Amino acid sequence: MSSIYPLGYKFNLGRNASAGTVRAAFRDVSVYSFVVDTPGSASNFTISEANAASGGTSQPIGTSTAIAPPAPYYWSQSSTGVWTRTAIVVGGNYVASTGVLTFAAATPDNIVLMINQGTLSDGFNYVTVAHSAKATTYIACELEVQRDPRNLRGLYA
């Protein structure tokens, strides 16, 4: 029996340093999951969209009245492996004018925020998610072009 390994077929990976500005492109990708391992209590993500890989215009997601917050909720995982869903509320835990999403005071093992391409404003094809104190792993899901890992296109261009 043969198997297909998932890297390049199901997902691709990238990384953004703590408080970094790496932009992930929504090219050949439908959904990004942004993961932070052991983020600490009362920490936050800063979430923005851009219209170029570097330079160009960058703005917080959700600044347009026609745009919902970056996602309806985020997920946190406890040390027992149980996932909890938390609603994202503009004016509550999400400040649309700055793009800052603040997490609850509990200290989870993982936090995952998923953003799909339809969340971005017209003309914006890049997203940056930066954690206040830890590196963020970008997981490109639902790849539209599947390749051997040696031939995967970089997520940032």
Convert the pLDDT of each residue in 69-96 to its tens digit: 677 788 888 888 899 888 888 888 888 8
Secondary structure class of 120 (helix, strand, coil) = coil
Contact indicator for 121, 64 with CB cutoff of 8 Å: yes
Tally of CB atoms within 10 A around 42: 12
Dihedral angle sign, alpha carbons of residues 76, 82, 87, 93: negative
Range of the domain at 63: 11-145
- β-strand partners of 73: 87
Per-residue pLDDT of the chain (157 residues; tens, 9 = 90+): 567 788 888 899 999 998 889 999 998 888 999 998 877 766 888 999 999 999 899 999 876 544 566 777 888 888 888 998 888 888 888 888 899 988 876 778 888 999 988 888 889 999 999 998 889 999 999 888 888 888 887 888 7
Q: Which of 45, 68, 51 is nearest to 118 (CA)?
A: 68
- 157 alpha-carbon distance from chain centroid: 16
Q: What is the pLDDT of residue 14?
A: 93
Global pTM reads 0.87
Q: What is the pLDDT of residue 65?
A: 47
Q: For residues 10 and 2, what is the distance between their CA atoms, to the nearest angstrom?
A: 16
Contact indicator for 21, 54 with CB cutoff of 8 Å: no
Q: What is the pLDDT of residue 118?
A: 85
Q: What is the pLDDT of residue 1?
A: 57
Tell me whether residue 157 is in a domain: no
Tell me whether residue 39 is in a domain: yes
Instruction: Please count the structural domains in the chain.
Output: 1
Tell me whether residue 153 is in a domain: no
Tell me whether residue 154 is in a domain: no
The count of C-alpha atoms lying within 13 angstroms of the C-alpha of 21, restricted to the half-sphere facing its C-beta, is 7
Tell me whether residue 156 is in a domain: no
Tell me whether residue 21 is in a domain: yes
Tell me whether residue 6 is in a domain: no
39 class by beta-carbon count within 10 Å (0-12 exposed, 13-18 middle, 19+ buried): buried
